[in-house]
């Protein structure tokens, strides 16, 4: 997995609710933990844009309800500062479902997607409607 050119503010902690931004059948996720993140003892790990998390589907299709799935975070409410000085923030926290090979499960992404996600996951650019 490729590194990012921007320092992302990590604000999503376990228990956070994310909207599903693709057409995979899920509507809402509840974050369980972050995949591949170590941390300091006693400190709660946090995720940001471009991170892969494990989440449970709260609302949506019966095939996914209460099952843990892999999700890539594509939007977050908290502002993030890019290396060129631009500050970007979105109106909601959102993610898309991916398989074990980091390929998106859905075929269409609703809403905007951060440029940092496209840098890390190239295949999401093909199904994104807008890149910010």
Strand 94-98 versus strand 17-20 pairing type: parallel
pTM of the complete model: 0.89
Burial 81-107 (b: 16+ CB within 10 A, else e): eeeeeeebebeebbbbbbeeeeebbbe
Q: What's domain 17-131's architecture? A: Beta Barrel (2.40)
Q: Would the pLDDT of 76 be above 90?
A: yes
In this prediction, what percent of the chain has a pLDDT beyond 90?
A: 72
Q: Is the pLDDT of residue 74 over 70?
A: yes
Structure tokens at 16: 């956070």
Is residue 64 within 8 Å of 52, Cβ to Cβ? no
- Cα–Cα distance, 23 to 3 (Å, whole number): 27
The domain locations on the chain are 17-131
Q: Among all chains, which residue has been given the structure tokens 């099952």?
A: 67
Provide the pLDDT confidence category of residue 6 given band limits of 50, 70 and 90. Answer: confident
């Amino acid at each position: 997995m490729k590194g990012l050119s921007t320092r992302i503010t990590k604000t999503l902690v376990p228990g956070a609710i994310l909207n599903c931004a693709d057409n995979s059948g899920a509507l809402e996720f509840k974050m369980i933990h972050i995949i591949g993140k170590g941390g300091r003892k006693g400190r709660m790990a946090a995720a940001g844009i471009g991170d892969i998390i494990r989440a449970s589907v709260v609302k949506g299709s019966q095939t996914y309800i209460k099952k843990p799935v892999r999700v890539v975070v594509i939007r977050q409410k908290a502002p993030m500062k890019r290396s060129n000085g631009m500050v970007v923030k979105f109106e909601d926290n959102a993610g898309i479902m991916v398989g074990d090979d980091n390929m998106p499960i859905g075929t269409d992404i609703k809403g905007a997607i951060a440029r940092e996600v496209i840098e890390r996951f190239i295949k999401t650019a093909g199904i994104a409607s807008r890149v910010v």
